[in-house]
A and B are shown apart, each in its own frame.
Chain A
């Protein structure tokens, strides 16, 4: 069974600073995908960044980047130059896609507050 662990329930960061959100996962599969999703107060879940497990290079999307450590089963999200609009819940998620096993499993989420 796949599990995703986000051990920090809440974090706070000053505007313009950098913050790192942690995520670990557990699986026996070798091919999978990892995601970070953002859920602002509007409730609409949106994708922040995606990482394929077979790629060694860490994914980057503008101010968002990941530190993917496959051996350690760790997938942290770094947000640079934090903005007030980054205030939201962030969920780490994991998917093994083998047809019948297309389960997308989420962690419990972390509430990030960006202070002006």
Chain B
């Protein structure tokens, strides 16, 4: 079974804190993604990575950064958390084209509250 594991299910942080959200996958996937999910807005892509140390901005990268030092791990960093970053964060991973099915597998999400 493919597993995508996010480090926390619920997280409460204070404004201005540096926040790390960790995601680990065990299927040797090349692609990894970070989304935030808000009611009425669906899933919006923050960043994605198609290889180790490679990253691409998604649709809403402002206020976030990412790190991919190892193939199985993709970290989302909130440099200085703000209340408008309160949201559900979802991590996903998939094979690149030609390596297998292209479907993305998701973690269970981290509900982050910034107070």
Contact = CB atoms under 8 A, between A and B. Distances in A.
Given A104-B33, A104-B92, A35 B103 contact: yes
A108 B41 contact: yes
Contact of A99 (B40, B50, B108): B50
Interface in A64-91: 91
Given A102-B50, A104-B92, A104-B94, A97 B102 contact: yes
Contacts of B50: 99-100, 102
Contacts, number: 66
Interface residues of B, number: 29
Contacts of B35: 106
Interface in B83-115: 88, 90, 92, 94, 96-97, 101-106, 108-109
B45 A103 contact: yes
Contacts of A105: 45
B102 A50 contact: yes
Interface in A13-63: 33, 35, 43-47, 50
A102 B106 contact: no
